[in-house]
Amino acid sequence: QTLAKHHVFKRLSHIAPGIFIFLAMSFAIYPDHHWTVSLVMAIQLIAQVYIIIAIIWFLVAFVDAMFGYFQTLPYFKNHSLKSYAQIIKIILFFIAFVLVVSLLLNKSPIAFLTGLGALSAVLMLVFKDTILGFVTNIQVAALDLIRVGDWITIPSAGVDGDVMDVSINTVKIRNFDKTISTLPTYTLINNSVQNWRGMQETGGRRIKRSISIDISTIKFC
C-alpha cells in the first residue's frame, strides 16, 4: 500500500519503454544509408538519458515510500526522517546529473567528477546551509534533543510553540498564537533552545499569568 501511494510501480514502468527503444533502434541501421547511423545514435542517446531519469525517479519514489513506512512505526513516530530522505534524494539527483552530463559530453563520469573537484570551494559555499542542516539533524537525532511535537522556546528567535517538522534546511514551529515560524535547522544548535518535553512527561503544565499588584496596598502584617 505504501509503495502504491508513492507511485513506485508507476515510475518503475517508465523504465521499460526506454530500454525497448534503445534495443529496438539497433535494428534500424541500414549500411547503405550512413545517415541512419547518426540518427540511431542520437535516438539511443536520448533513450539512455530517459532511462537514467526514469531510474532516478523510481529510486526517489522508493525512498519516499521506505521512509514513509518507517515514519509510521512507533519507534520513529516522534522522529523526523525527512532530512535523511532528502539527503539520499540529493545524492541520487547528483548521480543522475553526472551521468546525464557525461553521456551528453561523451566523457567518463570519473573525468567529470575530477573537474568538479576544482569547484569544491564553490560547491561548499552553495550547499553550506544543507551541510550545516544535515550535521544538525545527526546531532539532534543522536542526542535526542528535539522531537516532532515537542514544545520548544527559542527566545532569540521569538519562537514559543510545538515542533511541526524538521527537514534538512528548515524547522517549522507552530506558535501558540497559531502562527508558523520557519527557521534554519542549524538554529537548533547555534541558539539556546528550551525544550519543555520533560515537564510534559511528568504530567504537569506550566501556566503563565500576569498579575497586576498595586504596590501602595502592600503593608506589613
Residue whose entry in the numeric block shows the C-alpha cell 541558539: 191
Check the CA dihedral 111-117-122-126 and report its sign: positive
* pLDDT, tens digit, 9 for 90 and up, residues 29-67: 666 666 677 788 888 889 999 999 999 999 999 988 888
pTM confidence score:
0.64
Phi (first) and psi of residue 175, to 5 degrees: -70, 165
Determine the 3-state secondary structure of 159 from DSSP.
strand
* pLDDT, tens digit, 9 for 90 and up, residues 98-138: 888 888 888 887 777 776 666 677 777 777 777 788 788 77
Sequence letter at residue 179: T
* pLDDT, tens digit, 9 for 90 and up, residues 157-198: 888 999 888 888 888 999 988 899 998 888 888 888 888 888
